[in-house]
Structures are given as structure tokens and as C-alpha cells.
Amino acid sequence: MSIPEIITTETPWTSNYEAALKQLHADPEHGLSAAEAVRRLDLYGYNRIESGKKINPLMIMVNQFISPFMLLLAIAAGLSFFFQEWLDGIAIMAVIVINAVIGFFMEFQAERSMEALKKLTIVPARVLRDGRLSEIPSEELVSGDIIFIEGGDMVTADARVIKSTQLQTDESALTGESLPIEKNVSVLPEKTPLAERYNMLYKGTFVTNGNAYALVVQTGMHTELGTIASMVQKAGQAATPLEKKIRSFSKKLIWMTVILLVIIFIAGIINGQNLVQMMETSIALAVAAIPEGLPIVSTLALAFGMLRMARHNVLVKKLSSVETLGGTNVICTDKTGTLTQNKIEAAFIQINEGASRINLDIAGASIKWMDGNEIEDRAAYDQLCCIAALCNTATYYSEGGTEKESGDPMEVGLLKMVYCGHTKQLDYIKEYPKLDEVPFSSDTKVMATFHGSKQGYYIAAKGAVEELLHSCTSVLEGSEVVALDESKRNNWLNYAEQRAQSGLRMLAFAYRNTSEKESYFLHQLTLAGLIGFIDPPRPEVSQAIAECKSAGIKVVMITGDHPATAKNIALQLGLANQEDEVMHGNAMKPYAELTAEDKTKWLNTSVFARVSPAQKLDLVSLYQEKKMVVGMTGDGVNDAPALKKADIGIAMGQRGTQVAQEVADMVLKDDAFSSIVLAIKQGRTIFDNIRKFIIFLLSCNMSELFVIATAAILNLHFQLFPIQILYINLITDVLPALALGVTKAAPHIMERKPFSSSEPIIDRERWKALFVYSSVIAIATISAVFASHGLLHADEAWNTDLCNNILFYTLIFSQVLHVFNMYFERGVSFFKSEVFTNRYVWYAVFACTILALSAYWIPAIRDVLKITIHGWKDWSIIIVFAFLSLLINQLLKRLKVII
């Protein structure tokens, strides 16, 4: 086929779709060939929106220098140069550079992690290629492709509708119009505004109802979404509540530090200290004591946590969700696919004359009848197969021994059954071309299709048994159609109930032949029979549910399935007891009408069946009214409101519609319930870790403040030099804090109750511990100086430099060892704690020790820091007192004086 290099359709809504197809050399029956698709992809490029915001390392670097802390340091350096303290000046400049480099790497890493997370969301598209409908990454769509979309899908390119069935889209993302818009194949005037182009579909919008085939006319940056670049470059992530808490907390600390600094400064001046020296000390202390790095370290911990979760199939879309996860105390989960394996297989057939379990042999394309193969010869069974093949939007075929499938797993299960039968799906489709459809919705719980046939028309319908029975007036018995009276109706309901009790998911099938074309056709149907599907529970779920129980998290099953099926699965998973009642959707009043008694009943129920999406929303409202933090799973387009309202909306990566995935806070790539529990555990761990490094950083900083304040107020003859303070912080603030940020979960983390969002990061108990830790370190440090003098140099005059050095090193080592105090679970032994067993903590301790000693080993640094220790005895004092501080703090922990 010779086609021009670049094919465009400027105004595809102005001509009929045949013209558009012709213009783009597209074939509505077969789609593009694979080779032609590749050629066009080379020509047009990938179908993606290039985000305008790229990580700019230079800007990140420049930003490091524009902070009040850097300014303070610059002033300190300036002062040093002014008073010709060259070495100090240069050293402070070095500190500025090192700080900036560390800050740069942390921020760069955080940005990169966020970018990596964004890339994890790839939306698939269903496209007709080489005559087959298959699923490809939407990035590979090209102009001329024929796509198939249905309710819940995201439109992934601009496309002209060529065939539609009750298609409605939500274009609010593009036009701001929040009501669903009906789409069709009409021809429109050229000047039609975007919001009224009813024959066009636009990238980034959603299908809320129906389905359609459409011709891709523009991709990537050429789409409407691409051209409105500003819409795409969404604002950066807003600060999470935790980050906000940390920021306001840091502000409070600044004030506390400033007050202490003023006291130290005044005491120094009163005691006749050098003014410049005191100013420099104050600045160094301000820089050291104010935890300006906290927000970025916590962002980093959150981002790393998100990446770690992504490796475990959990995609968390917002940083703030990680925190909310930690506090989740009720999980509302659906059943199919989350608690069960979603390998839905037809396993049972009931027609009027009998019932049989069946086993599909895909390799041999045959059905094994376990109880009665005479069913195979019945008219009702033929009807079942015909309905299963026609009333279906999934695809299934076996090619060269490999199975290809897409669409709803239960519908795929039906197609597999058809595949194993006498007549193939394609033959049914040829005989009965589809003309219209009532798409499946979890509200109606039924689906129906309208087809042309040799005799006239044929209607195929399937759905939840009690729902479809409402539309049936007759039943196929043998080869006769007889009226479906009340007793027959009850019989069928009983058949379904009995099978559901054994865990089968039951679906009813009905049909009607008619001679006239009807627009409303879901009535006066003839029931053909029932098919039961098995969908066994996932093996790991029982354990995950038990874990939730011990973690104080309530698990509630909310399913659209039959109550008996729901109960059977709930019993198998330990989610409910035999005596527990299942609440039926019919028995659930609207939220506004609930009495206190109803509410209590709802709160005490753990299995809800035949629930509509609106009722899911009501349940979320009720839990939130009771101040619970709700995680809610959902997959359908109608679940979107409940997902949005829940504190954590959880969508399914495999089964979920793209709409659900878009509005959810978290996407489970493997659809598994146990991943939610894993994510909650991660959320708790991250919160714990953030707490750990905040406490660690603050207690280290406070211990410095205490040491300096004591020396200044008591007018001791030794003091830390400003440059030493900066050095201590370079060593102890960065690596141990980062290592704490990646600590594994504490041993009993899932046995604790969820933390409440109103709980402060540092509660009273932790403030007390913080104060005690810092005091112990400060006292041990100052005692080391006196011990060294008393034990080793009693008969010499006080050696100010030596005293200073002992102060310096004892403080460093005490702080480095202090990292091992950072576990807060009672009853956990020191050696088994998550910190002691964290190898990164050990790496950090090792690296810090080397860095600290290099100040002694490297002459240049030694000179700047004025290090002059000579004998091993003084070193021993330093080491003993550093360990002593750890020992005392451990003892106080053991005695439960502190946490």
C-alpha cells in the first residue's frame, strides 16, 4: 500500500467516518497490520504526552544555596574572613559545599524516585491489528488504528467514533463538563466546539457507559490533551500531612533553639568570651541544631517506601497515601479477584432437565461431563453456549498452543467453555451479528445484546440469577418454551442458592427470538439455564486477614455476588463465622435514613452481598462518621465515587477499569488482598522510620546544645569550636538518619493498633525520651573530660585543647552509638531490634567512625579542627564514655523510665 509520509485528518468530525477511514488508509474489519503499525510508529512517534517538567540538576543545586541556613553559614564564613581567621573561613566554606552536595543528592534522588514512580503507570489499549482485537501499551497506538473501548476505559488517543453502543464519556478532564456526554457516529459542522463534538473521543477522557470502535486520528502531543500543555503539567505533589506536620514541628524547634542560643550567647558574653567566637558558635549551633534536613529526609523515606512497595506490586500514587495507609483501620474489600484467584472457570451447568459439573479440557477443546453428559444434547445447552458466545465483550483464542485473552475474566471463562463446545464463537458471531447492547453494570447486574438472525432478531442476556429472572417470563424445558410461574421461579432461585452455598458464582442465561427490531429489549426473555463458576480463594489471604485482626484492622467483604457465595468464601478465609449474618444489599437503607440501630448493625457486619456501588459509598460515609480510616477496593467505573471518598481508594491493576485506577490512591498490580496488608505494613514502617530519624536527629542536636550551654553557663574552660559543631553534624546527621529511614518493620509492627492521624509525630512519651537521651549523652560527654583530667592528667594544668578534643570525640561516638537506641517496641531485645539487625545502620556506623577518625588521620582536617590527642589512654576514655552513654540509655529503656 503506498501512502503518504504523514497522514493527518484535521477535522475528522466534519466528514462521515468512512471518509476518515479512507483518508487514514484504515481498515475497520482488520485494523492495521503489525508491520504498518511499526512503520507509522516510526513516523509519528510514541503516543505519549511529554511532560514539560524535567528534572533540572542545575536548579536543584542552585536551590541548595538559597536557604536561610546556608545564609547563616555564609555569614559565619564572612565573619571568619573579616577577622582573618582564614582556616576557619575556608573550613566553613567547605561545610557549605558539602552540605549543598548532600542536599543536592537527596533532592535529586527524591525527584528521580518520583519520576520512576510516574513511569510505572502504563495504560493499555485494545486495538484491532491483523484482524484480531488485542491489548497493547497505549503508547504504541498510531493514527489509523481501530481501537475498542468500553465502560471504565480511559480514551488513550484522539479518535473518531465508527461504531458505538450507548456510548457515554466523561470529558471533565478536558472540557470541565462533568455530565456524561453521549457519543455517536454523526457528522458535525466544522465549527463545532470541542465539548460538542459528539462523534469524537479525546485522549485523557473516560468512557462511563457502553462501548465503541473508533478510528485513532491523532496521538501523543498532537492530541487535544497534548496541545493544551498546561493542563498536563500538573502542579507538583502537594506537601503531605506528615510533611506539613514536620515543617510546623521544625518551625517550633527553630524557636526553641533560638531561645537557647540567646541564653548561651548572653552567658558567654557575661563570662567574658570573645564576641566573634560567640557569634560564630551561635551560628554554628543554629545551623547544627535546627533540623533543616528533616522535610527532605522524610520525603526521601516516603519516596523510597513507595518504590519498595512498587516492587511488591503496590503502586502508591500519592506520597500522602503512604502515611494514611499506616493509620488505616478498616479495609473494605471486594471478593472476586481480590480475595479469590479470579481464575474464573465454568464448572457447573444447570438446565431444566438436570445439572452436571463440568471440566474444561482446553488442550483437547472438549468438555468433560462429570455427572450427566446427556445435557450436551439438549436445546437449552445449545442456547447457553450461544448466549455465552454472543453476550460477551471479552476475547479469547488459542494460537499455536498459546492462549490469548482479554476482557472480564468471567466472560473469558465463558468463551473458554464455548471454545470447548461444538460451535465456535466466530460462527455464532457470523450467524448473529450484533446490533445493539445493554452493557453490564454492577447496578443492574445484567447484560444483554441484540442480534440480527436468519429468522429476524435474537436477544441474548446474562446476569445475576434473581435480577435476570425479573426479565424472564418463560423457561426452556426440553425443546419447549413454558411459562415461568411463581413455583418454577422459586425452584430456580433455590438451585442458584444451593450451588452458591458451596462457593460457586452463579449466573443465569436467557434469550428471545423476535421478528421486530426493538430498542428496549430486556424483557419477556426465556430462561435457558444457569452456569456456575469456581473461583477459589487465594491461598495467602487467610494469613493476611489474621494479620489484619491482630493489627486492629477490621476487614469487611463488600461484594456484588450472591450472599451464599460470599459467605462460603468468607468462612473459608476466616473473615466470618458460621453464625455471622450476611447483609444483603436489598436490606440496606440509604445512608440518610439510617437509624442508630441500623448503623450499629452495619458496623458489626463483616460480609455485605449484592451491594451496589452507591451502597459502597454509604458504607465509607458511615465508617468515616465513626472516625475510621477506610481503605476501599473497587474496580468498576461506578466504584469511582467510593474510591475517591475512601481515605485510601484501592484499584485493581489487572481487573480494575482505567477509571478506577485513575481515581484511586493506590493500585494493586496483582489485585491481591495480601498486597493491601503488605502496603499497610509498609506504611506503618515508613511512619516508624520517619519518627526514628526525627528522634535521632533531635536528640543528637539537643545533646550538642546541652554540652555547649553547660560549658557556656558554667564558664568551663573548654568549649566546642564552631567548625567542630559543623563537622559533628556532617558526620552524624546524614548517614545514620538515612539508614534509619530504610529500617525494616519492627518485629511486632502488625500487632499494634493503627495510629491515629491526630497523634503527634513526637508524643509526650517520646519527648521525654528525647530529653533523657540528649541529657545522658551530654552528661557522658562532659564527664569524659573530667574523667580524663582526673584519671590521667590530675597533676597537670588543664589542657584546654585536649579537653576540647575529648568533648568532640566523645560527643561524636556517643551520637553514632545512639542510633542503636532507636527502637521503641517494648519487650524487644537490643540485639534483635530492627535497628541492630539493619545492615545499613552498621554501614553508617562504620562510615561515620572512619570519617570521625579521618579528622585525626588527615593532617589538613586535623589542623582545621584543632585535634591534638596523643595517648591511647585518652582514646580509651572517649570510647568508654561513649559506650557508657549507650549503656545508660539502654538501662533506662530496660527499666521503662523511657520508651
463, 503, 563, 683: residue in contact with ligand ATP (rule CB under 6 A): 463
Q: Give yes or no: 334 in active site.
A: yes
Residue of 83, 121, 251, 237 lying closest to 653 (CA atoms): 121
- The residue from 88, 145, 170, 334 that is catalytic is 334
Is the Cα torsion angle 583, 589, 590, 593 positive or negative in sign?
A: negative
- Measured between alpha carbons, how far is residue 357 from residues 351, 494, 797 in Å? 12, 17, 98
* Interatomic CA distance for residues 364 and 644, integer angstroms: 46
Nearest distance from residue 462's CB to ligand ATP, in Å? 5
Q: Is 342 in the site for ligand ATP (CB under 6 A)?
A: no
The CB-based long-range contact list for 400-407 (8 Å cut-off, 24+ gap) reads 403/362, 404/132, 404/134, 406/126, 406/133, 406/134, 406/135
Helix H or strand E encompassing 689: helix 673-713
DSSP assignment of 713-773: HTT-S----HHHHHHHHHHHHHHHHHHHHTPPPPTTGGGSPPPPTTS-SS-HHHHHHHHHH
| Candidate segments 95-103, 445-453, 594-602, 822-830, binder of ligand ATP by CB under 6 A | 445-453
Nearest distance from residue 253's CB to ligand ATP, in Å? 48
107, 411, 618, 647: residue in contact with ligand ATP (rule CB under 6 A): 411
Q: Is 437 in the site for ligand ATP (CB under 6 A)?
A: no
If the CB atoms of residues 200 and 410 are measured against ligand ATP, the closer one turns out to be 410
Q: Is 408 in the site for ligand ATP (CB under 6 A)?
A: yes
x/- map, 483-522, ligand ATP, by CB under 6 A: ------------------------x---------------
Q: Is 720 in the site for ligand ATP (CB under 6 A)?
A: no
Q: Strand 366-369 and strand 354-361: pairing?
A: antiparallel
CB-based contacts of 34, cutoff 8 Å, min separation 6: 129, 130
- Burial class from Cβ neighbours inside 10 Å (0-12, 13-18, 19+) for residue 470 reads middle
183, 335, 681, 893: residue in contact with ligand ATP (rule CB under 6 A): 335
If the CB atoms of residues 335 and 692 are measured against ligand ATP, the closer one turns out to be 335
| Candidate segments 444-452, 687-695, 785-793, 824-832, binder of ligand ATP by CB under 6 A | 444-452
Task: Number of residues interacting with ligand ATP: please give it, by CB under 6 A.
Answer: 18
- Burial class from Cβ neighbours inside 10 Å (0-12, 13-18, 19+) for residue 162 reads buried
By beta carbon distance, the residue nearest ligand ATP is 560
Q: Is 442 in the site for ligand ATP (CB under 6 A)?
A: yes
| Candidate segments 58-66, 206-214, 404-412, 834-842, binder of ligand ATP by CB under 6 A | 404-412
Q: Is 561 in the site for ligand ATP (CB under 6 A)?
A: yes
559, 568, 685, 833: residue in contact with ligand ATP (rule CB under 6 A): 559
If the CB atoms of residues 463 and 722 are measured against ligand ATP, the closer one turns out to be 463
CB 200 within 8 A of CB 236: no
| Candidate segments 554-562, 592-600, 640-648, 659-667, binder of ligand ATP by CB under 6 A | 554-562
DSSP assignment of 841-855: HHHHHHHHHHHHHHH
Q: Is 445 in the site for ligand ATP (CB under 6 A)?
A: yes
Per-residue exposure over 695-722, b if at least 16 CB sit within 10 Å of its own CB, e if not:
bbbbbbbbbbbbbbbbbbeeebebbbbb
Nearest distance from residue 459's CB to ligand ATP, in Å? 14
* Interatomic CA distance for residues 582 and 879, integer angstroms: 65
| Candidate segments 165-173, 194-202, 333-341, 425-433, binder of ligand ATP by CB under 6 A | 333-341
Q: Is 336 in the site for ligand ATP (CB under 6 A)?
A: yes
Amino acid identity for residue 245 in this structure: K
What residues from 469 to 488 belong to the interface with ligand ATP (CB under 6 A)?
none
Nearest distance from residue 483's CB to ligand ATP, in Å? 24
Residue of 794, 559, 545 lying closest to 674 (CA atoms): 545
Nearest distance from residue 600's CB to ligand ATP, in Å? 24
CB-based contacts of 316, cutoff 8 Å, min separation 6: 117, 306, 309, 310, 322, 325, 665, 666, 679
Nearest distance from residue 502's CB to ligand ATP, in Å? 15
147, 185, 464, 660: residue in contact with ligand ATP (rule CB under 6 A): 464
Name the site residues for ligand ATP (rule: CB under 6 A).
Answer: 334-336, 408, 410-411, 440, 442, 445-447, 462-464, 507, 559-561
| Residues annotated as catalytic (active site), given as ranges | 334
